[in-house]
Amino acid sequence: MTTLAEFVRNTEFFVIAHRGDSGRAPENTLAAITLALQSGSPMIEIDVQGTADHSLVVFHDSVLGRTTNGHGQIRMFSAGEVRALDAGGWFSPDFAGERIPYLTEALDLIQGNAYLNIEVKSHAGDANTILHTQLLLQEIRKRDLFPFTMFSSFDHELLLDLRKAVPNIITCALNVPADARLPSDVVASCMANSYGCSVHELTTIKAENCSMHRLPWGAYTVNTPEQLQYVRTYGLHAVVSNHPSTLLQYLP
């Protein structure tokens, strides 16, 4: 694989699988990641959180109830406890028994097969979350994955901290809703490499600003061919999708 920086420079437009192929399998599971890889998604986005015993797992919400048969905040439980939960039955009986993956399991699947997009959660000064972010960076460093990984976040102070910790890190500043700043100003404030916003936040002014500053940018969450056609009129470089296998059929 070429580095992520080279890939972005040489690729006009690409699709990012949101939490894996989360339209066809329960989000942030090995099943969803596997389907995204099989579809040919060049980049897979996952969410990483820490457990009470400081294990890193792939999971989006701070609470367990939406996508598992558990309840309560994930950070209050050990890895063994959250791994005992059913993380697939809520999506379909076909995925009953699917587990919350360890980060290492997800990386074993993705490494060398697709680029990685890790959404990093805001730590807000929480000591455990700061520790878990450090452990995340250690795991990426141990696997020599920094050239193939992008870290995205709504917490721009956190992105700046990541830049200070790893000067050559690749980051994406996700626009905070109601932030009226231009993309170039958002990116400059946290020394990010790229900019992302929701499909509902796309404007001609943002498009012109990104073009003027040669700033790679993308939008989430784009799930239909009609949405894809619409967002491409803004000159985006990438979209994040729950249905990457569908959108990939409409690319050259």
Q: Pairing relation of β-strands 56-58 and 43-50?
A: antiparallel
Residues involved in catalysis:
18, 60
Tokens describing residue 238: 């990438």
d(CA 104, CA 106): 5
Tokens of 82: 């959250």
Contact 27, 60 (CB under 8 A): yes
Quote the crossing angle between the two packed helices 156-165 and 183-190, to the nearest 10°. Answer: 50
> How many CB atoms sit inside 10 A of residue 170's CB?
23
Among 132, 69, 144, which Cα is nearest to 102's? 132
**Residue partners of 138: CB distance under 8 A and separation at least 6:** none
Distance separating the N- and C-terminal Cα atoms of the chain? 20
- Distance, in Å, from the CA atom of 58 to the CA atom of 38, rounded to the nearest integer, reads 19
Residues 47, 58, 104, 221, CA torsion sign: negative
Largest CA distance in the chain: 50
Dihedral angle over CA of 175, 230, 205, 215, nearest 10:
60
50 three-state secondary structure:
strand
